[in-house]
Structure 1
């Protein structure tokens, strides 16, 4: 059997003291658990590398997404695995609620408000971000009613509906601040932008850029023409080709999602010591 460290810890629900039941016979651990499914009950929930508010942010989960709770420490932290991309980490227990009704819609606007009733003059209860999932139980007068509040129906899309162009989806995030580990329209990183935009078109993508480089599309020559929608990978970074001459990416140079001339970006990033490694084309 393997030790937990022999597997990718980002997506392997195993610690030296505990592992998920499906890993029995695969990893060494003194205890195996099935876990309990819960749903994210706050607009954006952090998933951290260790249990603590000062621990590095690895990724985020959005309102309505499902997580599997494998352990809780009694001090406010749950060790969880996200259902969508299998990422593993620590989340505040207070961010989680019961599984409840299955989501029917997702938020298709960058941000929207959750009102206590069908009246835009009421003070909002909260704000939800692009990709959040809600269970709509009634709709009338331009509003969608959920167990948690009322949302403008125009800001929602049925869960099984698909956007046509992931590059156009990514472009809606122009100007959103860069946030390492971020995955929402309040702030996101390079691979978070790619994952979010692809998800809107029905394409499941891993969370981190190195995972995406291995899993997405087909590799094409670095010397060939770049096409709209190509994914360009450097060590630790991914960008989207908006067209043959322009990149769209969340990056720490601009500290935002930005459009940048391809030639200038290649030169700037190379000057910092990193060179384009792979171009992958989605079919």
Structure 2
């Protein structure tokens, strides 16, 4: 099959494709996707339906997906959040309804079997996870999966407009390829998580972000300011101020802050080469009703 679209964003493989792509791609079978939602704290999205396949990105509790088919214990899906396509463990998905009512705003929280901090937790919830509260017992929100400390959450629709401030909260978080939770992040996962919490759409990978975010600045660090994005071929960071870079990186194996000049010299010598662009985001605007869901453009849709 000749695929003229980015396979990361196109729900099509030689053996299976979205029915909406009939006539645009070749596939042995076309299916109509069904709405589902992630019902576990986090799940790896893989390129192939195998646990040995590397993690491309992560889906977290409350994420909406379009489900196409099950293969070898994995679900072929497209994430509503950013359009990313791949395979999730089939057990990580449940019904699309009801909609989430709250978002986790603490860096990390826990899901308990009862509204009691002394009970062993069922799992970890990270910043940005979304849950559906069915009631409240004391200091805890009751959800279908357990109880969450209410003060660690805000109602759905909450945004944190200072995305650099969110990134500053995550300094020290370990680097994790494909990670986008407060347990582990890669460079573009950090940018995406922080922008989504600010109510802004954001693609998943660094090359997508370089093409799709902000406006190009002169190829000169003079004049940079807080919130500007710095891109290399395969890497991205954000400016904490005029001279300081904040980024998740493999050198520190963590989200770290360092002088931009030092990062540029090291990266030029050791890994991604020269900076490819500096980009500036537009000033923040009113957040959409659901800041964690963007409009996914299918191949063939108008720009």
| Residues 4 and 15 in structure 1, CA contact (< 8 A), matched pair in contact too | no
Q: CA deviation at 1:121?
A: 2.0
| Residues 4 and 16 in structure 1, CA contact (< 8 A), matched pair in contact too | no
CA RMSD, Structure 1 to Structure 2 (Å): 1.3
Structure 1's 177 and 23: CA in aligned 2 closer, same or farther, altered over 3 A?
Answer: same
Q: CA deviation at 1:136?
A: 1.3
Does residue 117 (structure 1) correspond to residue 114 (structure 2)? The answer is: yes
CA distance in 1, matches of 2:83, 2:31: 16
Does residue 276 (structure 1) correspond to residue 275 (structure 2)? The answer is: yes
Q: TM-score, normalised by structure 1?
A: 0.95
Match of 2:206 in 1: 209
Aligned pair partner of 1:6 in 4, 9, 25: 4
| Residues 161 and 199 in structure 2, CA contact (< 8 A), matched pair in contact too | no
Q: TM-score, normalised by structure 2?
A: 0.89
| Residues 3 and 25 in structure 2, CA contact (< 8 A), matched pair in contact too | no
CA distance in 2, matches of 1:178, 1:122: 30
- Any gaps of 5 or more consecutive residues in structure 2? 283-303
Q: CA deviation at 1:107?
A: 0.8
- Any gaps of 5 or more consecutive residues in structure 1? none
Q: How many residues align?
A: 280
Per-residue CA deviation, residues 241-261 of structure 1 (Å, 9 max, x unaligned), is 000111100000000000011
Higher relative contact order (CA 8 A, sep 6+): 2
Does residue 84 (structure 1) correspond to residue 56 (structure 2)? The answer is: no
Superposition pairs of residues 107-146 of structure 1, within 5 angstroms:
107-146=104-143
| Residues 139 and 151 in structure 2, CA contact (< 8 A), matched pair in contact too | yes
Q: CA deviation at 1:140?
A: 4.8
Per-residue CA deviation, residues 143-184 of structure 1 (Å, 9 max, x unaligned), is 212122111111112221111200000111111111111111
Aligned pair partner of 1:20 in 3, 18, 21: 18
Does residue 167 (structure 1) correspond to residue 160 (structure 2)? The answer is: no
Moved more, 268-277 or 139-148: 139-148
CA distance in 2, matches of 1:23, 1:238: 32
CA distance in 2, matches of 1:155, 1:230: 29
